[in-house]
Amino acid sequence: MSHHTTLHRGRKTAAATLIAVVAAAALTACDGKDGKDSKAGAAAAPSAAASPADASSSQEAAGQGQGAPAGPAKTARTAAAKHTSPAGPAAGARCTTDVLKAGWGADGGGRPDMNSDQQQTATVWLKNIGGRTCTLGGFPGVRITGTHGTAWDLPRSAKKPVAVRLKPGAHTTFTLTLLPSTSAGDRKITPGVVTVTPPDEKKHFQLKWPYGGALLDQSGATHPGTYVNPVNAG
């Protein structure tokens, strides 16, 4: 083999080695860049996987800036605000004694027959004389004071109370079921004054008894024939 041939092969070998080194360096450079990108992607991953609460806050903030619909949290708060009434006196507040007036009689007239030995009905009306609608419901307190000083707090009936809203100037009624006394041997109460206390109140009205006669005194009985019915019971 000639010296020229040997030198030519040596140059080819050196060139091949140089190409391999350059290729390896280029490959290493590419791998290094990809490694940096992978690390950056891994660092960004937690932000993309935010918790639901954070996601809602982000959506809400974005909506405020772009005019987009509000997120679930804002929608819930808006709905709650629509159903919240402003503070202040309610139009249907309870009717107090101070805004009521009381008297005897029903719209259709009628009066108890105190000469009967059967149960009778006396009606008391309650009128709203205030300037605002109020609600009245339940049992009034009723005490009958006899002409000789005997007092009887009437028991309640078994009827169910029904509340009624009274506009200014409007009225409702309640009734007293009465058992008159017509026998000379009966123990009696001769009504003189009837004290009426509206439901849930302490102040009262005093009404003079207008019907005469007497009631059978059953103040100690378990189920007396004289009792009070609730407001607006019909």
Per-residue pLDDT reduced to its tens digit, 63-73? 333 333 333 34
pLDDT of residue 141: 98
Q: Burial of 231 by CB count in 10 Å (0-12 exposed, 13-18 middle, 19+ buried)?
A: buried
pLDDT of residue 146: 97
pLDDT of residue 167: 97
Beta strands in 129-226 (DSSP E): 134-136, 141-146, 151-153, 164-166, 171-178, 188-189, 191-197, 205-208, 215-216
More confident residue, 207 or 20: 207
pTM of the entire predicted model: 0.61
pLDDT of residue 234: 64
Report the pLDDT averaged over residues 162-177. Answer: 97
**What type of residue sits at position 20?**
A
Confidence of residue 91 (pLDDT cuts 50, 70, 90): low
- The single-letter DSSP state of residue 180 is B
Hey, CA dihedral for 87, 88, 90, 93, is it positive or negative? positive
CA 63 from chain centre, in angstroms, equals 33
pLDDT of residue 108: 82
Q: Is 40 helix (H, G, I), strand (E, B) or coil?
A: helix
Report the pLDDT averaged over residues 143-152. Answer: 96
pLDDT of residue 170: 97
For residue 195, pLDDT beyond 70: yes
Token pair of 123, please?
């009606």
Per-residue exposure over 41-73, b if at least 16 CB sit within 10 Å of its own CB, e if not: eeeeeeeeeeeeeeebeebbeeeeeeeeeebee
Contact residues for 84 (Cβ-Cβ < 8 A; gap 6+): none
Q: Residue 101: in which H helix or E strand, if any?
A: strand 100-104
**Count of CA atoms in the C-beta half-sphere (13 A) of 219:** 14
pLDDT of residue 132: 97
Token pair of 138, please?
């339940």
**What type of residue sits at position 17?**
T
For residue 157, pLDDT beyond 90: yes
Between CA 213 and CA 139 the distance in angstroms is 25
pLDDT of residue 168: 98
For residue 86, pLDDT beyond 60: no
pLDDT of residue 70: 38
